[in-house]
Amino acid sequence: MRVAVGADHAGFNLRDAVISTIEAEGHQVIDLGAQCYDAEDDYPDRAAPVAEAVTNGKADRGVIVCGSGIGAAITANKYRGVRASVCHDSYSAAQGVEHDDMNVLCIGGRIIGEAIATQLVEAFLSAKMGEEERYHRRLNKINNIEATNFGSG
């Protein structure tokens, strides 16, 4: 799996742990920065390239780290086909994929530490969309809402 990663100044402390975890799980990292700490770095500058990589198919999934994860999720969800959510527990990180086909994990570098971040990324990457009809019915409803609000293509 190809996984795009982005981290702003407030998430920079978890960036290396996220990348190491993705690689340890056998996946390819698409590193979209930041490459060095910059106190003026803003979350949209790191979230947008990750969301764009998922939207255009260059990445299968994405992980974005900002201060709380919230700004990253808001930004990423502005892109067609992106289903991003903040998760700070491993159940949500897996369940978001299994039930909702979440494709971008957003985490808060000011909320959790390296050990939890590692668990979240592992849970997110190992999860697969469930086969139950209700999950696909719900996803189709979300896709219809997206098409209604943003056009069909």
Structure confidence by residue, pLDDT tens digits, 107-120? 999 999 999 999 99
pTM: 0.96
How far, in Å, are 61, 84, 109, 145 from residue 56 at the CA level? 11, 15, 27, 20
| CATH at 24 | 3.40.1400.10
Give residue 152's pLDDT: 65
Q: How many domains does the chain have?
A: 1
Give residue 150's pLDDT: 85
Domain that holds residue 113: 2-150
What counts of helices (H) and strands (E) characterise the chain?
A: 6, 5
The model's pLDDT over 34-68, given as tens digits with 9 standing for 90+, comes to 999 999 999 999 999 999 999 999 999 999 999 99
Residue 120: half-sphere exposure toward Cβ, Cα within 13 Å: 30
- On whether the CB atoms of residues 91 and 134 are closer than 8 A, the answer is no
For the chain, first and last CA: distance in Å? Answer: 25
What residues are labeled active site? 66, 99
> What six digits make up the tokens of 64?
């974005």
Burial bucket for residue 39 (CB in 10 Å: 0-12, 13-18, 19+): exposed
